[in-house]
Chains A and B, each alone.
Chain A
Amino acid sequence: MRAWQIVRKDLVILLRDRRALITLLILPIVFIAILGLTTGQILTGRSTNRLRLTLVDQNRSSLAQQVIQEISKDPRIEVELEESVTAAEDRIGQGASTAAVIIGEGFSRKAAEIQLIDLLEIPDRRLAEGLGSLDVQVRSKTTLPLTRAAISQLVFLKTLQVLARYVTSRLPLVKAYIDAHPQLAFEARPNSAAPEVNPYFSDLIASRSAVYLTLVPSYTVMFAFFLINFMARSFIGERTTGTLFRLKAAPVSNMVVITGKIVPFFLVAVVQGIILFAAGRLLFGMSWGVKPWMLLPVIVSTSLAVTALGLLTGALVRSEVQVVAYGTFLVVVLAGISGCLMPRDWMPPTMQKVSLVTPHAWALLAYDQLLTTERPDLALVALSCAVLVGFAALFFAAGLICFRRLRRNSNVSF
């Protein structure tokens, strides 16, 4: 119970430190809001979450029009038509469009050459070169090669849907069948149903809040680790103000003192995590995923790792200057390695593996499962929590060893 005296004392001191509270609670929300506004386009395509394509129809055939219609009716794609390639490229340069699709003059001629066998054996026949086989080009910024490749595949798929109807309708048997059933003619039903998307994810994709599914967990984890600075300062403060002598002279064991020192910060870390996820929901409309209650064990295990790392940092630093230097370095570097500063998916596979040496990365893995997948892999979430608790145990043991070494060399250690 005597540890509770220290817990209560440190909580009072922490809650009276308005700057600390602003840094721990308000700053992350402001940070997330600003990044949500400024990077929304990068992370989710656009605030409306639709892919923006500029189409240039140099062919001007009915078949080209059908391709344009096929692309336009996809709810995930926003289409703008331009008269010239130059105008389309200008839109890309201005950031108004992600890519331009240019249907060349030779499109209808090349489409007329396509036979049924070309559709059945795409890699080996006339369509082997994809859109290039049909005089259709996709252009985007050179910095987005993967985006260009993905859009090319999407446009090729849409074009094949048109070509499939076009080619099969020319076959005598099919033609005779369609003639007998005019309601089946593709001209008569130009608007087929939109592709089916899982309702949860269609909401997610269409939602402006999708960006916060990346930002809120990333910055919740990063700012949780900011606590290590405050913890280390608290340990240093006990030394520099002389109160450590009083604590050591009191009838309590070192373990009670250390427990009393770390519990308040653990509680603050948990509350911080809950507040930031609540703010994500209330202020930014983010989803808590299909199993919201599972977020709590991740927040708790992350908080354990944070407080144990704070203990280790407190044992290693010797002054306030070192707290600022090492603590901030630790927070920023670990955030960078782990993928807090950018979506983990953007990181090269090697770096994604390297990042697993940080507790942050495991927390992000768990949050990613819970927030962005329809059926979260609960085994992976449990593993992440276990690894975070393992990190906590490791940091805690290392912190105790460092304190013991310090005590052996001086009389000012816990």
Chain B
Amino acid sequence: MKLPRLEFRGLYIAGVYGRLRALRTKSPALHHWWWQRITAVVLVPLCLWFAASLITMVGAGHAAAAAWVGSLGVALLLVVFILALCYHAYLGVEVIMDDYVHIERVKAKGVLAVQVVLGLLAVVGVLAVSWVLVGLA
């Protein structure tokens, strides 16, 4: 079927080929469009996995949680989860700010603030997982 013209942050991206080509361009807006989707696809199974795992730990104490976070496979998936989640959240909030904040200076500061906060969250999350993984918890 014919693909609709797709607008993303003021740029038109036509067809599947155009979208794939966009991935290789240096345009930050198109990179954002793609990374939003790539992280979304990654987050679908990871969110379901994380939610299901949390449910099994309801009512259980610290030992169960530490054992779960501290196993190598889980820790690696958690790191991917945290990074994808924070980046996806940052890109999403940025698009929303683009649409609703019309004063450039305010927008730039807002985007920077979100970048810093979500960046810090990602770093703290990865450090916490590493801490448990090496057995310091």
A binds B: no
Point out residues on A near B: beta carbons under 8 Å.
Answer: none
Point out residues on B near A: beta carbons under 8 Å.
Answer: none
